[in-house]
Amino acid sequence: PYSTLDDFEPLSTIGCGSYGTCKKIRRKKDGKIYAWKEMDYGSMTESEKQMLVSEVNLLRELRHKHIVRYYDRIIDRSNTTIYIIMEFCDGGDLATLISKCRKDGIYMEEQFVWKMLIQMTLALQECHRRKNGKAVLHRDLKPANIFLDIDKNVKLGDFGLARVLHHETSFAKTYVGTPYYMSPELVNNMSYNEKSDIWSMGCMLYELCSLHPPFTASNQSELNKKICMGEFNRIPIRYSSDLNEVIAKLLRVEVHRRPGIEGILRDPRIQRQQQLLE
Ligand code: ADP
Ligand code: MG
């Protein structure tokens, strides 16, 4: 039995995104708190709507402690709006955390970075090893899409929906910002694959440490060049060479030299940190 709009009470608006509004909501029957994303499908084509439906169905299957849990969707035909109900993450997101650190001039604890690294890897493992063979690629890994719960555990969010809605107008909107995390293979117009998610994760971890992305430039072609050269400064010396080396591995330009998820989890440095976390 699907939920209905009447089952929930909107509490506050969390933010407005490129596709709609995200609200904090309460389920009336038990007072439980969730978030929902409201999206108007009124201007979507039939095939875009089909993609949206299959995407939401896929999200419902992704159940992992480090992935934002999607619970249900409600379709309101009277105002052509779909409401996607998901876990509410009250610890903010990594983008906010990074800007706060930059503003205050403080670096994150090394232990926190390892925790982010391991938990993001576990979340991606769940996506990349889908049973029926088809990996779920995130395609939009960036600090703003990594949420934290109250105990500062990773909740990977904002999946696929971005991809569904990447029809021309929204796609342009999505990339109003500079795509600092674009992998070399994407720069070279090759297709997106699991290793591209790994590259983006490397960029994200680098930024967590350095408080700026590994590759920066004032225009796209200069950025593309830097990404394909693959040269970057060491993360600040306060961080161990173990951490520096692991991040550098994720940022290897050649796809075949860059580890996949299983390769990351086999790295003895990662395994050591994983034991510390338990
Ligand atoms: P965007 O297009 O910017 O990604 P979103 O609709 O994803 O827009 O997000 C809008 C705001 O809601 C952002 O500030 C985001 O951090 C927040 N948000 C999104 N999902 C959740 C969630 N599950 N829990 C808490 N906050 C969320
Ligand atoms: Mg988002």
Q: How far apart are CA 133 and CA 3, in angstroms?
A: 31
Q: What angle do CA 128, 134, 138 make, to 5 degrees?
A: 45
Catalytic residue ranges: 140
CB count, 10 Å around CB of 161? 22
Q: Give the per-residue pLDDT at 128.
A: 87
Model confidence band, residue 154 (pLDDT cutoffs 50, 70, 90): very high
Residues in the chain: 278
DSSP 8-state assignment for residue 243: H
In this structure, the residue with its CA closest to atom 2 of ligand 1 is 17
Q: Quick one: which atom of ligand 1 is closest to the CA of 16?
A: 10
Q: Scan for tokens 């926190």, then name that residue.
A: 112
- Predicted confidence (pLDDT) per residue in 211-270, tens digit: 999 999 999 999 999 999 999 999 999 999 999 999 999 999 999 999 999 999 999 999
Q: How far apart are CA 73 and CA 84, in angstroms?
A: 4
Q: Give the per-residue pLDDT at 167.
A: 43
Any ligand 1 atom below 6 A from CB of 92 = no
The residue to mutate among 11, 13, 14, 153, having the most atoms of ligand 1 within 8 angstroms of its beta carbon, is: 14
Q: How far apart are CA 273 and CA 115, in angstroms?
A: 8
Which one, of 53, 11, 52, lies nearest residue 32 by Cα? 11
Model confidence band, residue 169 (pLDDT cutoffs 50, 70, 90): very low
In this structure, the residue with its CA closest to atom 11 of ligand 1 is 15
* Least confident residue range of 6-10, 55-59, 118-122, 203-207: 55-59
Q: Which residue has the higher pLDDT, 18 or 80?
A: 80
The ligand placed nearest to the CA atom of residue 21 is 1
In this structure, the residue with its CA closest to atom 13 of ligand 1 is 15
Q: Quick one: which atom of ligand 1 is closest to the CA of 19?
A: 2
**Rounded distance from Cα 242 to ligand 1 centre (Å):** 33
Model confidence band, residue 177 (pLDDT cutoffs 50, 70, 90): low
Q: Is it the case that residue 124 has pLDDT exceeding 90? A: yes
Q: Give the per-residue pLDDT at 164.
A: 52
Does ipTM surpass 0.85 in this model?
yes
Q: How far apart are CA 216 and CA 182, in angstroms?
A: 11
Q: What is the mean pLDDT of residues 86-106?
A: 96
Any ligand 1 atom below 6 A from CB of 264 = no
**Rounded distance from Cα 88 to ligand 1 centre (Å):** 10
- Predicted confidence (pLDDT) per residue in 12-32, tens digit: 999 887 778 999 999 999 999
DSSP 8-state assignment for residue 95: H
